Amino acid sequence: MLPHTDRPNRETPLPKKGMRQTEQRKAVFEALMSRADHPSAVEVFMRVKYRMPSISLATVYNCLESLTANGLVRTVNHEREPSRFCANLQEHAHLFCSECGSITDIPLHTPMPPEQIWNLPEGVSIAQQEVSFRGLCAPCACAPRQGTPPRTPNPAPAAAPSGN
């Protein structure tokens, strides 16, 4: 996708105003809160840009970094994929869908400290727990598997062994 070039003043450095940064961070945070779908930084950027066309990807990265540092947002990492972001601060695990790649929040029945859930080895100290599951999200679990061939209007008969 080509960057849009309708604004010749794009090189003008942004004013170093705390107000503006707060506004941008708020927009980034709201973009994350609007849907619990764990977007990547680029996806957050696309959403924020829609409302705030002047925002840059670098700014979105900075905002995400400071939101993460302030504990308002969690990063979610899965294999070699780019980090994704989660604004759900309730204790929860993540289900990585092996079919569509989505991430679903899995809450605990009753929030409780890790030592009540896990049999922690003696002397161990937990700073943060990150639990992940692999499986299928609800839509993928209900959908017909992609591995099955699509319906054909004229199904070929199963190849019968040709007579002797």
Site residues (vs Zn ion, CB under 5 A): 86, 88, 97, 99-100, 102, 105, 137, 140
55 or 103, CB closer to Zn ion?
Answer: 103
Nearest distance in Å: CB 137, Zn ion:
3
Nearest distance in Å: CB 90, Zn ion:
9
Q: What is the pairing mode between strands 84-86 and 74-76?
A: antiparallel
Q: DSSP assignment of 144-162, as one string?
A: PPTTSPPP-SSPPPP-PPP
100 or 108, CB closer to Zn ion?
Answer: 100
Q: Radius of gyration of the chain from Cα atoms?
A: 23
Q: What does the alpha-carbon distance between residue 46 and residue 23 come to, in Å, rounded to a whole number? A: 16
Sheet (strand 92-97) strand order: 103-107, 92-97, 132-135
- Residues contacting 148, CB < 8 A, separation 6+: none
Nearest distance in Å: CB 26, Zn ion:
20
17 or 109, CB closer to Zn ion?
Answer: 109
25 or 84, CB closer to Zn ion?
Answer: 84
52 or 117, CB closer to Zn ion?
Answer: 117
Q: What does the alpha-carbon distance between residue 64 and residue 67 come to, in Å, rounded to a whole number? A: 5
